[in-house]
Amino acid sequence: MVDSLLSARGLNKQFQSGDEPVPVLVDLSLHLEAGESLALTGRSGSGKSTLLNILCGLEKPDAGVVQVLGETFDTRSTEAGSKADARWGDLRRQQIGVVFQEANLMPALSLLDNVRFRARLAGQSEDGCQDWLERLGIGELADRFPDQVSGGQRQRAALAMVFAMKPALILADEPTGSLDRHTAEAVIGQLFELQTRHGCGLILATHDPELASRCSQHLDLAHLPET
């Protein structure tokens, strides 16, 4: 049997606010095949970032199972946490490209070297790295360091890093949040083009209904209790 790209079942997550438990995800399940895209929507605080963090191993659910790219992570497993962390680390290095609201660039490297570093880490060629920066409209900033460019330019560099690693799955948390409408449309165009061309999976957290409508699936977290 061929595994699906990503499957999550029965995810539960709550945080504490003082003595009060704050439920964020309640018995949540989702399924994504290669080549599919999923829009995650819901009001601010509904759990979109928490879910993305769980789907790439940066946050642990209180209960539930995540199966991704042939690996299974089950909260009922007796596997040592450090082993599971190592498996998640390998997936994020090689196969899961993550774009967060805060671009996670290395401050001591130029934008181009950040993209090259990411490509190398994923075992990909560095040849197309400058090209990715060009396609995202920041080619002329390749030699600048992250603190010498704007937040939106950093966000585009973070996308270039993900494109250069040619991941099987992209998780993007409001990837155009700091961009003007025109630039955002160009960047989203690149994201969907890459997703179609490489047949990778894409999960996109967004507040933009138009953007959500372009995805093949839609999961709205708005029904969860107000926190």
Ligand X SMILES: Nc1ncnc2c1ncn2[C@@H]1O[C@H](COP(=O)(O)OP(=O)(O)OP(=O)(O)O)[C@@H](O)[C@H]1O
Query: Of 46-54, 106-114, 116-124, 148-156, which part binds ligand X (CB under 6 A)?
Result: 46-54
**Beta-carbon-side half-sphere exposure of residue 7 (alpha carbons within 13 Å):** 10
CB of 159 to ligand X, least distance (A): 18
Q: Which of 38, 47, 84, 95 is the binder for ligand X (CB under 6 A)? A: 47
Tell me if 227 contacts ligand X by CB under 6 A: yes
Looking at 24-105, list the stretches that DSSP marks H as alpha helix, in order from N- to C-terminal side.
48-55, 81-94
- DSSP SS3 for 199: coil
Query: Of 43-51, 69-77, 81-89, 123-131, which part binds ligand X (CB under 6 A)?
Result: 43-51
Pairing of the two strands 201-205 and 37-41: parallel
Q: How far is CA 195 from CA 144, 188, 203, in A?
A: 28, 10, 11
Q: How far is CA 24 from CA 9, 15, 39, 47, 53, in A?
A: 15, 7, 18, 6, 13
What are the φ/ψ torsions at residue 11 (nearest 5 degrees)? -75, 130
Q: Which of 5, 6, 24, 179 is the binder for ligand X (CB under 6 A)? A: 24
Tell me if 44 contacts ligand X by CB under 6 A: yes
CB of 63 to ligand X, least distance (A): 16
Q: Which of 15, 77, 193, 220 is the binder for ligand X (CB under 6 A)? A: 15
Distance separating alpha carbons of residues 223 and 203, to the nearest angstrom: 19
Tell me if 41 contacts ligand X by CB under 6 A: no
Q: Which of 5, 42, 114, 191 is the binder for ligand X (CB under 6 A)? A: 42
Tokens (6 digits) for 193? 């083009």
Tell me if 50 contacts ligand X by CB under 6 A: yes
Query: Of 27-35, 40-48, 144-152, 185-193, which part binds ligand X (CB under 6 A)?
Result: 40-48
Residue with tokens 């690693």: 165
Q: Which of 6, 38, 46, 56 is the binder for ligand X (CB under 6 A)? A: 46
Site residues, ligand X (CB under 6 A) = 15, 24, 42, 44-50, 227
